[in-house]
Amino acid sequence: MNLQGNGNNHNRRPLLDDGDDSFINFKQSSDYERITGVKLDDNANVTSSEDAERQKKLKEAIEKENSSAYEDLDDFVYRQNKKRHRSSGGRHHRHKRTSPSVLSPGHHRRRSPSGHKHKHHFHRHHHRRNRMKKWQKIAIGVICFLLAVIIIGVSTLLIMIRMGKNELTDKTGFNIDVPKYAESAENGNIITYKGVKYRYNDNITSILCMGIDKQELSNIDGQIGTGGDADSIFVLTLDFSTGKTKIINISRDTMTDIGIYSTGGGYVGEKRTQLALSYAYGDGKDTSCHNTLVSVRRLLYNVPINNYLSLDLQGIGPINDSINGVTVISPETISEFKQGQKYTLKGNLATSFVRSRTHATVEGNNLRMERQKTYIESFASTLMSLTKSSISKPLDVFNVASPYICTNISTSEVAYLSMNAIQGKYGAMEIVNAPGKVKMGKKYAEFIMDDEKLFELFLDVYYTPIEG
Please spell the DSSP secondary structure of 261-302, one letter per residue.
E-TTS-EEEEEEEEGGGGTTSS-SSHHHHHHHHHHHHHHTTT
Lowest pLDDT segment from 39-48, 78-87, 95-104, 207-216? 95-104
Instruction: Please report the pLDDT score of residue 380 as a whole number.
Output: 86
Q: Are 301 and 191 in contact (CB under 8 A)?
A: no
In a domain, 157, yes or no: no
Which of 54, 74, 102 delimits the end of a domain? Answer: 102
Q: Within 10 A of 446 (CB to CB), how many other CB atoms are there?
A: 20
Q: Are 205 and 237 in contact (CB under 8 A)?
A: yes
Q: Do 295 and 385 belong together in one domain?
A: yes
Q: Are 238 and 337 in contact (CB under 8 A)?
A: no
pLDDT at 121 over 60: no
Q: What is the pLDDT of residues 277-328, one digit of tens each?
A: 999 998 889 999 999 999 999 999 999 999 999 999 999 999 999 999 999 9
What type of residue is 15?
A: L
Question: 3-state DSSP call for residue 105?
Answer: coil
Phi, psi of 97 (to 5 degrees): -75, 130
Q: Do 175 and 324 belong together in one domain?
A: yes
Domain enclosing residue 224, as ranges:
169-466
Instruction: Please report the pLDDT score of residue 366 as a whole number.
Output: 87
Q: What is the mean pLDDT of the chain?
A: 77
In a domain, 128, yes or no: no
The band of 1, judged by pLDDT with boundaries at 50, 70 and 90, is: very low
In a domain, 357, yes or no: yes
- Own/partner pairs for 192-200, CB < 8 Å, 24+ apart? 193/455, 193/456, 193/459, 196/465, 197/465, 197/466, 197/467, 197/468, 198/459, 198/463, 198/464, 198/465, 198/466, 199/463, 199/464, 199/466, 200/174, 200/176, 200/462, 200/463
Instruction: Please report the pLDDT score of residue 122 as a whole number.
Output: 45
Measure the CA–CA gap between 354 and 36, rounded to whole angstroms.
Answer: 121
Measure the CA–CA gap between 246 and 433, rounded to whole angstroms.
Answer: 10
Q: Are 25 and 47 in contact (CB under 8 A)?
A: yes
Enumerate residues 6+ apart whose C-beta is below 8 A from 120: 74
Instruction: Please report the pLDDT score of residue 170 as a whole number.
Output: 92
Rounded mean pLDDT, 15-33: 47
Q: What is the pLDDT of residues 232-250, one digit of tens each?
A: 999 999 998 888 899 999 9
In a domain, 76, yes or no: yes
Q: Do 250 and 348 belong together in one domain?
A: yes
Measure the CA–CA gap between 326 and 179, rounded to whole angstroms.
Answer: 41
Q: Residue 461: which CATH number?
A: 3.40.630.190
Q: What is the pLDDT of residues 394-441, one digit of tens each?
A: 778 888 999 999 999 888 888 788 777 767 777 778 999 999 999 999
In a domain, 150, yes or no: no
Instruction: Please report the pLDDT score of residue 118 as a whole number.
Output: 47
Q: Do 177 and 31 belong together in one domain?
A: no
User: pTM for this one?
Assistant: 0.65
Q: Do 208 and 63 belong together in one domain?
A: no
Q: Are 8 and 14 in contact (CB under 8 A)?
A: no
Q: Do 229 and 333 belong together in one domain?
A: yes
pLDDT at 185 over 50: yes
DSSP 432-453: EEPPEEEEE-SSSEEEEE-HHH
Measure the CA–CA gap between 156 and 162, rounded to whole angstroms.
Answer: 10
Q: Do 45 and 178 belong together in one domain?
A: no
Which of 43, 73, 102 delimits the end of a domain? Answer: 102
The band of 101, judged by pLDDT with boundaries at 50, 70 and 90, is: very low
Phi, psi of 15 (to 5 degrees): -95, 140
In a domain, 403, yes or no: yes
The band of 388, judged by pLDDT with boundaries at 50, 70 and 90, is: confident
In a domain, 399, yes or no: yes
Which of 102, 127, 161 delimits the end of a domain? Answer: 102
Question: 3-state DSSP call for residue 200?
Answer: strand
Structural domain total, the chain: 2
In a domain, 427, yes or no: yes
